[in-house]
A and B are shown apart, each in its own frame.
Chain A
């Protein structure tokens, strides 16, 4: 099976812009989770989607949003970018209660 695919791998944006990240889960996996990873904060949970519904949400401002499509693909959007949003954004998928499988991540740099 193909793994979790995230696009793009790298992004450079300026403050105030918005960005959309994409994630294709492992075939058959209906749950997709998003995490932000920074050196100081570690892995921070953003949200999880299951069957197109947000099932869990972390403590991030409303500028961070996501959605899931009927084919389980997911997108994450960050509006009004801030310098502190620079991070590695990781998408992970799982089947029911199975462990998470991570994609290679999107490294976002905000200047």
Chain B
């Protein structure tokens, strides 16, 4: 059974701080990794994708992947109240590239 684990939180950070979200996965053969943001009552929205070891930066967001440790993280710099949402980690594996989601981490950025 392929598993994706996230700390459910809630995680609270003050405005302007760095929010760090973590995710581990069980399938060592996983190939692609994604972070989705989901606001309450809305559908998930893709914010980052990462495919190789290392860091990938996009604006205030940085995704980090370590395949040896089976670990992927998302850093949000200069956190804003509008970043308050649930962040879902998703991992793609297998020949059909099936996507498995973690249970999500609820982030609250306090003004």
Interface residues of A (CB under 8 A from B): 33, 35, 42-43, 45, 48, 50, 55-56, 90, 97, 99-105
Contacts and interface: CB of A to CB of B under 8 A. Distances in A.
Contact of A45 (B44, B100, B102, B104): B100
Sorted nearest first, the 9 A-B pairs with minimum C-beta distance are A42-B103, A102-B43, A43-B101, A56-B98, A99-B46, A55-B96, A105-B43, A97-B97, A102-B44
Contacts of A55: 96
User: Interface size bucket, B side?
Assistant: 20 to 34
B49 to A, nearest CB: 5
A45 B98 contact: yes
B3 interface: no
B97 A103 contact: no
Contacts of A105: 43
A45 B43 contact: no
Interface of B: 31-32, 34, 36, 42-46, 49, 88, 90, 92, 96-104
Given A56-B98, A102-B44, 14 more contacts: A35-B101, A42-B103, A45-B99, A48-B98, A50-B96, A90-B44, A97-B31, A99-B49, A100-B34, A100-B46, A100-B90, A100-B99, A104-B42, A104-B43
Contact of B46 (A35, A90, A101, A104): A101
20 contacts: A35-B101, A42-B101, A42-B103, A42-B104, A45-B98, A45-B99, A45-B101, A55-B96, A56-B96, A56-B98, A90-B44, A97-B31, A100-B46, A100-B90, A100-B99, A102-B36, A102-B43, A103-B43, A104-B43, A105-B43
B27 to A, nearest CB: 14
A102 B34 contact: no
A102 B101 contact: no
Contacts of A90: 43-44
A102 B99 contact: no
Contacts of B34: 99-100
A102 B45 contact: yes
